[in-house]
Structure 1
């Protein structure tokens, strides 16, 4: 009978190990999917930033184009003003020359019987300015003629100055236009670069999306495969149990869990309402020595300190999961393992019946339960003797 129990438990243990391995395989796939999803979020964030910069550059480019149009409109207007000024200057110079020639003819007839030297000077002078340079003779001309000559020269000078000013303004606007063209080229280069960056990011996003879809499909296929394998393994285990029972002619069934009943011991029940799923001592299914008492209960069930004491450990262990160790003095220690969460911390003093955590399935554990262990001078003893 004992050998039969051990055989059946061994079969069930193999099933549990295989199920755990399958779960680990699906966890790896899930991690790969998570990485792909994280990468997708990073790529989308980069794309959004690049598009924001791209839109900013487009706005700058539109502003530059608007400034260039404004500058071109001003250049066109200045060109028209310069053309008008040039026409006015030509007309003023023609008027000046015509009036000067007319005046020379008139003065010639006026003074042909007078100062012949003045007449020669007038005839030899090519322009009003040439005549004005000969100041000693200019004073001999009548007041009217002098005023007309000065007025004509002033008109020519004013028109020339206006044309020069317009040319300077045109040069300034032309330089501004050239600067805007250079700025436009620079911004356009940046914009082209951002467009290329966005295009590359979109390609990466597409590639990553395809990879993510493939990973999801593979993960789902792997999950279905593992479920099928688990179902087959469970069926095989059940068949093996039936075969083992048939071979021995036994009607053996697994014993039901035993409710924990508090006796007259010095400890209170650390998990009221739980049932004993594994006792202290050698276990039939694996032959290992079990140093404590496994109290099966639903995950989240409160656990309590068995007696007053000092919390030595409250933390994580790979094998014990979330666990608590309490020193009660006189070499007596209790250990509480596999919690889902803890309510106490190391260094804390607790009283008998104070909650210390919640039943879980952490560490080296199968199913929600509390592993309760009692030690006297570092030697494990049967906890039932203290409850």
Structure 2
């Protein structure tokens, strides 16, 4: 009994001295580590924001492409209308040219008929009928000549027919002049419509080309910026890994010094802080599909955004003692059972449906990848490995996994309770 008591005192001294030495040895490195972690968190947050912006632009591009397809249909319909207008315009122009020819012919015919009439009157005058000459001189134009009842009463049937033809020709001329004016007006209207349609088509084409160019430039810029952020994150993570290695080396050296001092202090047991009780056979009754993953119930940290971390704490910290059993919170298949620089010894269990449970900082692991475990089964022992300051269990739950570590974190207290 006394021997066991001395062994426990020796182990306690080693742990306290080792922890004290390690804290003094790498205090500066720990500050650097926290600064790097905050920088990485800020870069990751900026990357997420840019990815969200990129996704929005890609959605906008897809919607714009759909709009462009609709515009293409509209543009095709507009082009058909323009082609039809051009055909009508050509037809009107052809009719206009023919009308001009007809009008010129009618005027020439009118001139010839008028000359014939004058010859006829001259002949009648030479025969002694002076009435024709008086009427001719008194008439200002053909219209007044035709309206002269006195003239009409003196002409013969032949003269009447001749003048009747002249009157019909004049009416034809007036009708052709009217038709010409209408055709000219129609031609101008068609030209204006065609120019308007061409302008509308050009505006649509310019807007489409300009927006696509702007959108592609924004997407290219954002993708380039994201790539730069990823390069920066990789460099910062490399620097963080160097700091972590320095911290681990300092902790190992401090632990060795503490063990040497404990040994020189007269301990007969030669105890070591790496001693882990065997709790692989421990179990916890499961009264439902989920159980609390520890015998301890005190929370040393909660889930959510924390200013001092500069980001999200993606789980809860349970204040279990070193070597206490860690239980599977629900039945499932072990996906990861190994080492991580940040998580230390850790276990990830896939429960199906995209739900994962995560257990970090263990001192020992009792399961392996691919193994099926039941709710309440002991899978590891509580420890202080990875990024940890004091023994505890970091427990997290991820949902929305598609077969990898690609889901999103949720508050574990939504699934389990002490």
TM class, shorter-chain normalised? 0.5 to 0.7
- SS of residue matched to 1:153: helix
Residues matched between the structures, number: 304
Structure-2 residue corresponding to 1:256 = 276
Change (3 A) 1:357 1:104: farther
Q: 1:8, 1:241 within 8 Å by CA — same for their partners in 2?
A: yes
**Shift of residue 158 of structure 1?**
2.0
Residue of 212, 221, 228 corresponding to 1:214: 228
Change (3 A) 1:163 1:257: farther
Change (3 A) 1:298 1:107: same
**Shift of residue 66 of structure 1?**
6.1
CA distance in 2, matches of 1:11, 1:144: 142
Deviations 1:50-79 (A, max 9, x none): 566567667766766665565455445434
TM-score, with normalisation over the residues of structure 1?
0.60
Deviations 1:133-156 (A, max 9, x none): 102321332223322321232133
Change (3 A) 1:271 1:359: farther
Change (3 A) 1:212 1:67: same
Matched ranges for 1:83-232 at <5 A: 83-110=97-124, 112-113=126-127, 115-122=129-136, 125=139, 128-182=142-196, 184-185=198-199, 188-189=202-203, 191-232=205-246
- SS of residue matched to 1:34: helix
Q: 1:43, 1:201 within 8 Å by CA — same for their partners in 2?
A: yes
CA distance in 2, matches of 1:357, 1:100: 125
Deviations 1:21-69 (A, max 9, x none): 4666544432222211112222333445556656766776676666556
Q: Which structure 2 residue ranges, 5 or more long, are not aligned? A: 1-9, 299-318, 333-355, 359-374, 383-390, 397-418
- SS of residue matched to 1:139: helix
Structure-1 residue corresponding to 2:338 = none
Structure-2 residue corresponding to 1:336 = none
Change (3 A) 1:13 1:139: farther
Matched ranges for 1:222-371 at <5 A: 222-249=236-263, 251-253=270-272, 254-259=274-279, 269-270=284-285, 294-298=324-328, 300-301=330-331, 340=357, 366-367=393-394
Q: 1:64, 1:180 within 8 Å by CA — same for their partners in 2?
A: no
Change (3 A) 1:81 1:260: closer
CA distance in 2, matches of 1:72, 1:243: 97
Cα-Cα RMSD: 4.8
Structure-2 residue corresponding to 1:306 = none
Change (3 A) 1:52 1:148: farther
- SS of residue matched to 1:259: coil
Structure-1 residue corresponding to 2:388 = none
Q: Which structure 1 residue ranges, 5 or more long, are not aligned? A: 263-267, 282-288, 303-338, 342-354, 370-387
Structure-2 residue corresponding to 1:45 = 59
